[in-house]
Structure 1
Amino acid sequence: MVDEAFIKSLRQEWLEKPVKIVKLKGGITNELYLVEDNEGRKYKVRIPGKKTELFIDREAEIKNLKALEATGITPKLYEHKEDTQISIIEFISGKVAKKEDFKDPKVREKTVKAIKIIHDSNVQLCNVFNIFREVERYNNLLKAYDKTILSDYPINEMLEIVKRIETEVNKDFIKLVPCHNDLLPENFVFVNDKVYIIDWEYAGMNDPCFDIADFITELDNLTNNEEEHIKQLYFGEGKNREQRRVDLYKLPARLWWALWAVMQYHVSELDFDFNSYARFQFNECLKHLKMLREKYPEVIKGISV
C-alpha cells in the first residue's frame, strides 16, 4: 500500500488543495484509490499490480479509453503516467452492480442496451482481442511455473476442445467490433437509469458473441430462461448461429480466466485468494464442458474428459 503523500504528488492541484484519499476494495489486478477534491470532483487512481504487464497492454488500453469516450458510457481518462503506468481516471459515483442485480429483467435490459451501444459505436480500437491466442499465451507463460492447481484439472483435454471450438466459430463470417472482454458484474455502474461500463484493460476488437458469452458466464446464478432473455435482448429472433457461438465461447472464456488466476497466484502480491478463484473458474469450465457434451457433442467427440 502506498502512502497519501505519494498519491497527492501525482497531481499538482492535489498538493495545493485539500483532498480525501480512500483505498478502494475489490481490485484483483491493481491497487485502487479514490481521491476527492474540495470541490467534490472524484478520481480513481490506479496503480498497476506486480507483473501486470504480462496480462495487459497498457499502451493499447490508454488509446482505447480515449477512443471510447465518444460513446458517453465510459469513464474519462484524465492522465496516464508512462513511466509508472499509473492512471488517473474519472470515478463514476453510482451503484456498482452485483450478480444478484441481474435477476431483475429491467437490469438485464439496460445493461444489454449499454453493451450494444459499445458494439454498434463504430469506434475502432487499436488492437484485436482473440480469446484463442490469449488462452495459448497464458498456457505458455505457465510452463515456467510448477503445476500447482493445474494438475487437479484436465487441462490438456480442455485445450484440445478449445482448438476445436476455434475451428467451429471460424466457420462463420465474423465482423469484429469494439468489445470490453471482461464484463463481470462489478464493471457496470448504475447512475439513475444510465449504465456506465468501467475497467477497459482487456478491450479490443473482437467477435461480439464473445462479449455476450463472457457476460453470461460471469452471471453463474442465472436460470436458463434468464440467460435466454439476455440472448433475446441482444440478438432478437433468428440468430441461431450467433447464439451457438455464444455457447461455444463459454469454455474458452472461463479457461482464460482460470489460467489468468493461476498466473496471478504465482506472481501477484495483492491480498487476494487466487488459488480459490482459479479453482472456481476451473469448476465453471467443467460445468461448460457438460453443456457442450449435451448440446454440441460433435465438438468434444473422441475426447475423454
Structure 2
Amino acid sequence: MSETLTKELAVTRALELPFWKKPTNAEILGGGITNFNVKITDEGRTYVVRLGEDIVEHGVMRFNELSACRAAHVAGIAPAVRYFQKGALVQDYVDAEPLSEADIQDPQRLRSIAGVLTKVHREATQLIRGPVLAFWVFHILRDYAETLRLMDSDHLPSLNALMAKAEKLERAVGKVQLVLCHNDLLPANILNENERLWLVDWEYAGLNSPLFDLGGLATNASLSEGLQQILLETYFDAPISDALWAQYSAMKCASLLRESMWSMVSEQTSKIQFDYASYTRENLLRFEHAYADLQLK
C-alpha cells in the first residue's frame, strides 16, 4: 500500500470489500507488525480481514499466503478462507486467545504445539496446491544484506561480520528435509480455543526445514534447554542425538539473525507504526548470545 496505513483507514478498506452484505461491529484486532487485522460481523457470522500487500523485500507474496492458509485449514489447524482479493484475505473468526510465552512454557501445552507442527509439516505439506515459495533462511539473510547495502543502511558496518557468521551457521545446519513451514511462530500467532490450537498469520509460509519452526518457536517463547528437549523429543518421537541437537541449535541461531535483519530492513521500508529500531537491537543481542554459545569454528 502506497500510503501509511492507519487503523482508521484499515477499517474503512475492510468494510469496502464486496464480500459483505450487512457488515457491523468492525474493530482492529491486536498483533501483527506487517499488516492490520480487522474483525467484522456480517449476518450473524464473524470474520477477520487481513489487510496487506505483497512485501517483496521480505519475500511475502499473498498468493502464497492464500495457498498455505487453505492447506492448513484442510489439515484442521487454521480458520477457513472465505474471500480473497489483492491486499485482503477474509477468514472465519476463531473465538480464541493468543498464547503468551508463559503459556508455551507449560510442558503439556508445548507437547500439544509439537503435535500441531507435525500436522503442518506432514499433512499440510501434502495438501498445499499450486506454486509454493521457498523460505531458506540463509538465502533470505544474503538477500537482506544486499538490500541493506543498496539502501545505505545505518547497519552497513556490521553486515560483513554478520554474514560471515551466517556462512558458519549454514555449514553447521548441513543438509535438511524440505516441508511446508509456518516460519513465524510468535506466541500471538498460536491461538487457544478451549485447548484446540490454531495457527494464524501464514504470510511467511514456505518450504523450509522443520528445524526452523522448532527453533523459531523456542526463541520466540524463551524456552529453557529442558523445554527444548521436550519439544524436540515430542516432535521427533525419539531421543535427540548430539548431531541433531547441534543442527537444530545452529538453525535456531539463524532464526534470530533473520529476525534481526528483517527488522533492519523494516526500519527503512515499513509503513506500519512500530519501533523497529528497538526490535532490531533486542534481537541482535539475543543472536550474539546464542551464537557465542555455539562456539563454531
Same fold per superposition (TM over 0.5): yes
The match for 1:91 is 93
CA distance in 1, matches of 2:106, 2:165: 34
Amino acid at match of 2:272: L
Aligned: 1:54 with 2:57: yes
The answer on whether the counterparts of 1:30 and 1:46 sit within 8 Å (CA) in structure 2 is yes
Amino acid at match of 1:22: E
The answer on whether the counterparts of 1:176 and 1:208 sit within 8 Å (CA) in structure 2 is yes
The alpha-carbon deviation at position 202 of structure 1 amounts to 0.9
Amino acid at match of 1:135: L
The alpha-carbon deviation at position 99 of structure 1 amounts to 0.8
The answer on whether the counterparts of 1:99 and 1:219 sit within 8 Å (CA) in structure 2 is yes
The match for 1:146 is 152
Partner secondary structure for residue 27 of structure 1 = coil
Aligned: 1:227 with 2:228: yes
The alpha-carbon deviation at position 38 of structure 1 amounts to 4.1
Distance 1:12 1:92, change over 3 A: closer
Partner secondary structure for residue 19 of structure 1 = strand
The answer on whether the counterparts of 1:73 and 1:197 sit within 8 Å (CA) in structure 2 is yes
RMSD: 2.0
223-232 or 247-256: bigger deviation = 223-232
Partner secondary structure for residue 139 of structure 1 = helix
The match for 1:134 is 140
Aligned: 1:213 with 2:209: no
Amino acid at match of 1:46: R
Q: For 1:249, which of 244, 251, 256 is the aligned residue? A: 251
- Where in structure 2 are there 5+ consecutive unaligned residues? 1-5
Distance 1:86 1:12, change over 3 A: closer
The alpha-carbon deviation at position 256 of structure 1 amounts to 0.9
The alpha-carbon deviation at position 279 of structure 1 amounts to 0.7
Amino acid at match of 2:84: H
Deviation per CA, 1:153-212: give whole Å up to 9, x if none. Answer: x43223112212222322x4x321111111111110011121111111111121111111
The match for 1:296 is none
- What percentage of aligned pairs have identical amino acids? 24
CA distance in 1, matches of 2:183, 2:23: 37
The match for 2:3 is none
Distance 1:47 1:216, change over 3 A: same
Q: For 2:20, which of 7, 10, 13 is the aligned residue? A: 13
- TM-score in terms of structure 2 length: 0.88
CA distance in 1, matches of 2:136, 2:288: 22
Aligned: 1:164 with 2:171: no
Deviation per CA, 1:111-169: give whole Å up to 9, x if none. Answer: 11111111121425423221110111111111122332554xx4322311221222232
Would you say how many aligned residue pairs link Structure 1 and Structure 2?
284
Distance 1:149 1:279, change over 3 A: farther
The answer on whether the counterparts of 1:149 and 1:275 sit within 8 Å (CA) in structure 2 is no
CA distance in 2, matches of 1:57, 1:81: 13
Q: For 1:123, which of 102, 122, 126 is the aligned residue? A: 126
- TM-score in terms of structure 1 length: 0.86
The answer on whether the counterparts of 1:149 and 1:279 sit within 8 Å (CA) in structure 2 is no
The alpha-carbon deviation at position 25 of structure 1 amounts to 2.3
Aligned: 1:75 with 2:82: no
- Where in structure 1 are there 5+ consecutive unaligned residues? 294-298
CA distance in 1, matches of 2:10, 2:260: 32
Partner secondary structure for residue 123 of structure 1 = helix
CA distance in 2, matches of 1:47, 1:102: 27
Partner secondary structure for residue 120 of structure 1 = helix
CA distance in 1, matches of 2:252, 2:162: 12
Amino acid at match of 1:27: G
Aligned: 1:184 with 2:190: no
Amino acid at match of 1:288: A
Distance 1:256 1:211, change over 3 A: same
CA distance in 1, matches of 2:126, 2:288: 36
Distance 1:102 1:18, change over 3 A: closer
